[in-house]
Structure 1
Amino acid sequence: MRDDDPPRNARTHAISTSERGSFCTARCACGWAGPARRSRERARTDGAEHLAGS
């Protein structure tokens, strides 16, 4: 590991949502994905909770 590399535990987090049929899922750039939800708002809340816990 070089001195200018970011720490291993520093991951990029960027939440997005995707829809498939009547379900919405929050996803993060770090690879995390929340459960499929019927409520878009609940999927967004899942993403916000992931960011808060990161």
Structure 2
Amino acid sequence: MSGNARKNDLVTVHVPVELPVLTTRGWRILLEILTELTTVEVLDGPSGEGCRDC
């Protein structure tokens, strides 16, 4: 695929008007997806320094 063809590809995203009601399983799946998409390190727990930027 050439660079020009890639620029012309359209992507349509449909989002709901309101947030869906998620079960615990649904939230875990969503968290796994977001973790896979992120480029920063995800910590397992607090670092012990507290939350200074909250």
TM-score, structure 1 length as denominator? Answer: 0.30
Higher strand share: 1
Which structure: larger Rg? 2
Which structure has more RCO (C-alpha within 8 Å, separation ≥ 6)? 1
TM-score, structure 2 length as denominator? Answer: 0.30
